[in-house]
Amino acid sequence: MRAFRTHAHDAPPALEDIPVPDPGPGELRLRIAACGLNFADLLMARGQYQEQPPLPLTLGMEVAGTVDALGPDTTGPAPGTRVAVFGGQGGLAKYGVFPAARCVPLPDGMPETEAAGFQIAYGTSHLALSHTARLQPGETLLVLGAAGGVGLTAVEIGKLMGATVIASARGPAKLDQARKAGADHLVDSDTDDLREAVKSLGGADVVYDPVGGAAFTEALRACKPEARMLLIGFASGDLPEIKPNHLLVKNVSVQGFYWGGFLNFNPTALTDSLAQLFDWYAQGRIKPHVSHVLPLEKAADGLDLLRSRRSTGKVVITP
């Protein structure tokens, strides 16, 4: 079968032929219909991600497809069941082997192209806002990178949770996507002064930051007292400089958030969050936005869309 793999962190990943994998105990084999790309795939290919599987590895952290076979002594979704799974790797291939316990049956009518990019983006935003930041109705939420894979879901979920949402993104087209997702106020990060724009709206109670760099600094300066800042990622490539005296004076807290880490220390919070999200999807209260669907031969192009920040919502590959 074909798979999009990397053998060295200083060389680009490429398509190659590898054997179809067999599931072991506790695992299942999935016939992959779609794989959602994430900025973390870029970091993993470069050896810069916080969890680094041994090389060579097949990229692709989250997938959707149909169960093809169960491993020995494995109870799980029966062959023929459509599921989504966060596997951490192995998704950019025709087949993949994943832990059966992580598989989530898909709601009827949910396309695999939406399901493949659902868990990380929506799971990150919902768990970060509800569990970590404890966003309350009536508070003001500032979302940086608001048209990206996770940013757009933060806008949508923040609005569902009753917040006033300020969306910051680059250019009118991306801001229009944030507006459609429910943003109350729009800030163009290419032309507007982020600090002044947010302060003119009363300041932020919660900041959702998947960008880092200078945007973090400007957002911090626009925070209300006792605001909570969520560090989601660093798509800008620049780690923010955090001055503790600024946090002290404004009584602001900064909290790191890594969705996948909850599998190790609080899996119940993660699974409860996903159950809520799939219920919202079934009710029609959230609608995933997929800007690009590409074949496996175009996986490198899909990653480049993320690298250059030319996509909105999710980029999905269909093996």
**Res. 316 pLDDT band, cuts 50 70 90:** very high
pLDDT for the residue numbered 7 = 95
Q: Please, which residues have CB within 8 angstroms of residue 161's CB and are 6 or more apart in sequence?
A: 129, 130, 135, 137
pLDDT averaged over every residue in the chain: 94
Which residue shows structure tokens 């680094």? 52
Q: For 78-129, what is each residue's pLDDT tens digit? A: 999 999 999 999 999 999 999 998 898 998 899 999 999 999 999 999 999 9
CATH superfamily for domain 2-118+288-318:
Medium-chain alcohol dehydrogenases, catalytic domain (3.90.180.10)
Q: Please, which residues have CB within 8 angstroms of residue 310's CB and are 6 or more apart in sequence?
A: none
In three-state secondary structure terms, 256 is strand
> Is the pTM for the entire model greater than 0.85?
yes
Which residue shows structure tokens 């969890």? 51
Burial of 34 (C-beta count, 10 Å sphere; 0-12/13-18/19+): buried
Q: For 160-179, what is each residue's pLDDT tens digit? A: 999 999 999 999 999 999 99
CA–CA dist 130, 173 (Å, integer) = 28
pLDDT for the residue numbered 243 = 85
What are the boundaries of each domain within the chain?
2-118+288-318, 121-260
pLDDT for the residue numbered 103 = 92
Looking at beta carbons, which pairs linking 293-299 to residues 24 or more positions away fall under 8 Å? 293/34, 293/113, 293/317, 293/318, 294/318, 295/319, 296/2, 296/4, 296/15, 296/92, 296/93, 296/94, 297/15, 299/4, 299/13, 299/15, 299/37, 299/59, 299/92
CATH superfamily for domain 121-260:
NAD(P)-binding Rossmann-like Domain (3.40.50.720)
pLDDT for the residue numbered 241 = 84
Q: For 225-284, what is each residue's pLDDT tens digit? A: 999 999 999 888 888 888 888 889 889 999 999 998 998 899 889 888 988 999 999 999
